[in-house]
Amino acid sequence: MAKRGGFPAGGIPGNMNNLMKQAQKMQRQMEENQKELESKEYTASSGGGAVSVTVSGKKEILAVKLTEEVVDPDDIEMLEDLIVAAANEALRQMEEANAQAMSKLTGGLGALGGGLPF
């Protein structure tokens, strides 16, 4: 009687089992990296250091520092722009650090193995 499809009596073939173990290991490493990245802080400044913003790896603003010279009651708009610029740069730094960490872990495959021909 001919055997029809399916896995051998032993269950998952060896190569598939190894692949599953590697995937689980990568998932654990990604979780550890994510925790580490979330604990880091990123600081950027604008206006020649007049405004400084610190963000966490969780995308939360932790601190805003202003020099006295930048606080001009007649030019609130400039101060607002400097705060936005510093915050955006700090967030960009955080995103770049996250992307680099994930790229190292996945070997440059991208989010879902990008670049594969299907």
Query: Residue 63 — pLDDT band, cuts 50, 70, 90?
Result: very high
pTM metric for this prediction: 0.66
Q: What percent of the chain has pLDDT over 70?
A: 79
| Residue 7: C-alpha distances to residues 16, 22, 24, 113 (Å) | 11, 20, 21, 26
Instruction: Write the CA distances from 55 to 28, 36, 83, 112, 118, integer angstroms.
Output: 25, 14, 12, 28, 38
Are the C-beta atoms of residues 55 and 87 closer than 8 Å to each other? yes
Phi, psi of 62 (to 5 degrees): -100, -35
